[in-house]
Amino acid sequence: MGNARDIPMEYRKPKFLIKLLLLLGATTVSLVFAHNLNAEPYQASLKKAVELDKDGFYEDAIQYWEKSLIGSPANVRLYSGLKISGTYTKLGDLNRAAKISQALTENHPKKYESWFSYANASGALEKYSEAVSAFKKSIELNPSEGLGKVGLAFAYFGNSKPDLAIAELKAAMKIFKANKNISWYRDCRLAIRQIKDFARFPPKFAQLWLETNLKRVQDTFEGSVLDFENLLKSN
């Protein structure tokens, strides 16, 4: 997975934090700067967010993810932003999730995680063309990550391009085989067979299958990339 420590300097600029906070609707810009010095340490907010998230209190966790954006290192702000987007997806606020992810790509264009998050959000909104473009960008930035190719395959399938979907799944299988990831290797092989079987039915017949698989890609991405416990130990 990508290295969250190598953060470009532009991410440290105040305009990113302002834009993200406005999108989140967490607080006003004036309130952020007025109380920044008095705010609780970001480590405490981050730890609380992790605990609430683990217990399934996603709405309560959001306010602490937002607080962790204030006065924190760039890598924490990046990952908190990714987590906020993913949480809004879980809560069904897909448009807000997409806006937050898009802001991350605009301000963090060289990090594959931001593009992966935007691709996931676009796929959840059934904006498959946007998802295809975003997954391609994530693969360009991290070509050794097979999960990006899996996401791209499902986005192609949603965009009525099953042949391209199968080609990407086969490419992902090569990566998973090399990495000895047997589980995903087998799942890709099964998905290829299922896509071929779906050819006999109307496109909408496979919609639930597609949504389920895109969600699994999102969940795997969050579980593999967003390791907040290690992040807390390193700050």
pLDDT at 180: 95
Task: Please report how the helices 146-158 and 128-141 are oriented relative to each other, as an axis angle in degrees rounded to 10.
Answer: 160
Q: Is residue 104 part of a domain?
A: yes
pLDDT tens-place string over residues 168-219: 999 999 999 999 999 999 999 999 999 999 988 887 889 999 999 999 999 9
Average pLDDT score, the chain: 84
The pair of structure tokens assigned to 215 is: 């969600």
Q: Is residue 132 part of a domain?
A: yes
Residue 41 backbone dihedrals phi, psi, to 5 degrees: -55, 140
Q: Is residue 3 part of a domain?
A: no
Q: What pTM was estimated for this model as a whole?
A: 0.78
Nearest CA among 151, 147, 157 for reference residue 198: 157
Q: Is residue 95 part of a domain?
A: yes
What is the domain count for the chain? 1
pLDDT at 18: 52
pLDDT at 41: 87
Q: Is residue 181 part of a domain?
A: yes
What is the extent of the structural domain holding 150?
A: 9-233
Q: In which band, very low, low, confident or very high, does the pLDDT at 9 lie, cut at 50, 70 and 90? A: very low
Could you tell me the end-to-end alpha-carbon distance of the chain, in angstroms, rounded to an integer? 20
pLDDT tens-place string over residues 94-104: 999 999 999 99
Residue 64 to residue 81: CA distance in whole angstroms: 11
Q: Is residue 2 part of a domain?
A: no
Q: Residue 113 sits in a domain of what CATH number?
A: 1.25.40.10
Q: Looking at residues 118-123, what average pLDDT do you find? A: 96
Evaluate if residue 29 carries a pLDDT over 60.
Answer: no
pLDDT at 1: 46
